[in-house]
Amino acid sequence: MQKRGNFKQYLEPIKPVKNYINWNFDNSYSKLPEAFKEIIKPVSVLNPELVILNENLAKELGLDFSKIEKNELSALFAGNILPEGTSSIAQAYAGHQFGHFTMLGDGRAVLIGEHVTNQKKRYDIQFKGSGRTSFSRGGDGRAALGPMLREYIISEAIHSLNIPTTRSLAVTKTGEKVVRENLLEGAILTRVASSHIRVGTFQYIAAKQNIDELKMLVDYTVDRHYPEIKSSATKAVDLLNLVIEKQCQLIVNWMRVGFIHGVMNTDNMAISGETIDYGPCAFMDHYDPKTVFSSIDKFGRYAFSNQPPIAKWNLARFAECLIPLIDKNEDQAIKTATQIIDNFQTIYEQKWLDMMKSKLGLIGDNKDDLKLINSLLNWMEESKADYTNTFCYLMDMPIKDEIYNDKRFIEWVQAWNNRSNLNNSNKEDQFQLMKKVNPVIIPRNHKVEEALSDANKNNYETLYKLLSVIQNPYNPKVDVLEYQSPAPESKEKYQTFCGT
């Protein structure tokens, strides 16, 4: 292994690693034309130290790290040595950030390659925080330990909640400081994704106005994520419809568990329908549709209840990129794209209603269901009831809170019971349905902060404990009372910060 120095910035891959680990790299994205990427290796770091390795994910990927010494593992997950078969690149993309269009790209990440499992599933392996690239602009290309561990925790929580997401395979400290408001410990996250193709990737290629490359990106995306429309004569239209469907499903899932992404810029929306780019994200405690945690989201653009309209807005930007491929006649193409985007509302509302009905264990249809759901949400908002725990209470879990003695709530429960009886199902069946979609455990903000604060002091036990608890959000195997309560009331509003 070589140390970082002026004489040689990049390290050559060390060959034998693959044999022990079972990496199987096959890199398709790096074969796309120059416009799509920069060929670049991670910048090596001074003193890498592995903090956490996701053994469960490793197993799912068919990877075996058990025969590798910690030193070598640390070097591997810091990008100081690269496995055989990698072909690392920084991906080009653009994005609307808080509504403003900018050319971006991986400014602090490299995609080392695509690992293909024995089941022929293809995954991007990306190092986040791996040094400067030509897309870094003024940034240092690095990341701090806190934000990388936050991404690890929340992405694993989202995965355990059965919501599509990028995953986190490892976090390694770099042994170098990063300069933010304070000096912080540097770290690299190994991110695993079904791809990193974003709405912003399409925006970047579309902005270059090279129709052949745009077609190439559509073909590539379809081959990788939507092979069912491979031979379609209306590929661009079909792709748009499928991505809308996937995104509606994703946002409905976020609304189900009270997740607030925090930076739904178009560069942070994946075409695969996975949750991506965990920055100032957090889970809502008491129900308030206007909840915003991100310190930079001054006007609440990405507030909890704004997530569906913002998703629609982002998808409209995606549709604009596809216009030249939708119809040769531009007016017709715009008309078609507009009609498709206008479907968002209907698709979303139906999915949301089905989801809320499942949260309440309501089988079949009743004309007053929407009214029943909204009256619960209104009560929760007005009485500041905890979103997660209210559904736990309805599932007869021992939630102690005087709020549930409120007359209005008791009356609502009566109405809910009356509606439930129309199903002719017993309570047990109803609870079975509810238990699949109502988490008992979410990563509570104060618990996440506690784990990150201890990790910054080199104590990782709190983090490991939290990770073990969030793995079973629907059916906790141990006593998790401590993890169920919202943060104690505080004068300060909880705020999250971008991981830059």
Q: Does 274 bind Mg ion (CB under 5 A)?
A: no
Find the shortest distance in angstroms from Cβ 74 to ligand AMP: 21
Task: Compare residues 185 and 267 and give the one whose CB is closer to ligand AMP.
Answer: 267
Residue nearest ligand AMP by beta-carbon distance = 139
Cα–Cα distances in Å, from 166 out to 190, 227, 256, 269?
A: 10, 20, 19, 11
Task: Compare residues 114 and 267 and give the one whose CB is closer to ligand AMP.
Answer: 267
Query: Alpha-carbon distance 279 to 276, whole Å?
Result: 9
Three-class SS of residue 103? strand
Q: Does 105 bind ligand AMP (CB under 6 A)?
A: yes
Query: Which of 33, 99, 139, 300 contacts ligand AMP by CB under 6 A?
Result: 139
Number of residues that bind ligand AMP (CB under 6 A): 17
Query: Alpha-carbon distance 497 to 293, whole Å?
Result: 8
Find the shortest distance in angstroms from Cβ 207 to Mg ion: 17
Q: Does 166 bind Mg ion (CB under 5 A)?
A: no
Cα–Cα distances in Å, from 230 out to 194, 375, 496?
A: 18, 45, 41
Backbone φ and ψ for 203, nearest 5 degrees, come out as -65, -35
Query: Alpha-carbon distance 147 to 500, whole Å?
Result: 8
Find the shortest distance in angstroms from Cβ 98 to Mg ion: 13
Q: Does 190 bind Mg ion (CB under 5 A)?
A: no
Give me the residue label for tokens 């119809």.
327
Q: Does 185 bind ligand AMP (CB under 6 A)?
A: no
Q: Does 268 bind ligand AMP (CB under 6 A)?
A: yes
Exposure class string for 164-199: b at 16+ Cβ within 10 A, else e: bbbbbbbbbbbebebebeeebbbbbbbbbbbbbbbb
Query: Alpha-carbon distance 354 to 350, whole Å?
Result: 6
Task: Compare residues 185 and 277 and give the one whose CB is closer to Mg ion.
Answer: 277
Q: Does 107 bind ligand AMP (CB under 6 A)?
A: yes
Cα–Cα distances in Å, from 223 out to 28, 230, 238, 272, 386?
A: 11, 6, 13, 12, 43
Active site residue 267: yes
Task: Compare residues 1 and 39 and give the one whose CB is closer to ligand AMP.
Answer: 39
Q: Does 142 bind ligand AMP (CB under 6 A)?
A: yes
Query: Which of 96, 108, 225, 359 contacts ligand AMP by CB under 6 A?
Result: 108
* Other Cβ atoms closer than 10 A to 362: 24
Among ligand AMP, Mg ion, none, partner that 136 touches (CB below 5 to 8 angstroms by kind): ligand AMP
Q: Does 104 bind ligand AMP (CB under 6 A)?
A: yes
Which range, of 40-48, 160-168, 210-218, 267-275, touches Mg ion by CB under 5 A? 267-275
Annotated active-site residue in 267, 277, 297, 386 = 267
Q: Does 268 bind Mg ion (CB under 5 A)?
A: yes
Among Mg ion, ligand AMP, none, partner that 104 touches (CB below 5 to 8 angstroms by kind): ligand AMP
* Other Cβ atoms closer than 10 A to 36: 23
Query: Alpha-carbon distance 281 to 262, whole Å?
Result: 5
DSSP state of 179: E
Binding site for Mg ion (CB under 5 A): 267-268, 277
Binding site for ligand AMP (CB under 6 A): 104-108, 135-136, 139-142, 267-268, 277, 279, 498, 500
Just list the catalytic residues.
Answer: 267
